[in-house]
């Protein structure tokens, strides 16, 4: 029974070390593997997508302005 547990331990350590050594041999991905933003075609769907993006940017700007006003009001103290 002791030989079986020692053999299992040695086998387990061997497998773990082989997996670890294989993981260390990885290379960085090639530079062209980095994905760029997809190009939206100039179609009705593309125009709708750009419209949604523009609206989202407008909402983002509005929220930033509102946050800045609230922060300024908070600095002034209570009325």
**Two tokens at 48?**
């709708």
- Tens digits of pLDDT across the chain (79 residues): 677 788 888 888 888 776 766 665 566 666 665 555 566 667 888 888 888 988 999 999 999 999 988 888 877 766 6
The answer to whether residue 6 sits within a structural domain is no
The answer to whether residue 20 sits within a structural domain is no
The answer to whether residue 71 sits within a structural domain is yes
Q: How many domains does the chain have?
A: 1
So what's the pLDDT on residue 74? Answer: 78
Which residue's structure tokens are 């387990």?
Answer: 12
The answer to whether residue 44 sits within a structural domain is yes
User: Cα(75)–Cα(79) distance, rounded to whole angstroms?
Assistant: 11
User: Cα(23)–Cα(17) distance, rounded to whole angstroms?
Assistant: 10
Burial class for 49, CB neighbours closer than 10 Å (0-12, 13-18, 19+): middle
What domain range is 57 assigned to?
A: 40-79
Which residue's structure tokens are 């061997």?
Answer: 14
The answer to whether residue 5 sits within a structural domain is no
The answer to whether residue 53 sits within a structural domain is yes
The answer to whether residue 45 sits within a structural domain is yes
């Amino acid at each position: 029974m002791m030989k079986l547990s020692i053999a299992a331990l040695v086998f387990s350590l061997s497998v773990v070390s082989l997996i670890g050594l294989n993981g260390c041999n990885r290379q960085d991905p090639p530079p062209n593997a980095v994905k760029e933003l997809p190009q939206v075609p100039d179609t009705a769907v593309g125009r709708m997508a750009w419209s949604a993006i523009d609206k989202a940017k407008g909402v983002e700007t509005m929220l930033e302005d509102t946050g800045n006003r609230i922060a300024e009001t908070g600095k002034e103290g209570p009325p």
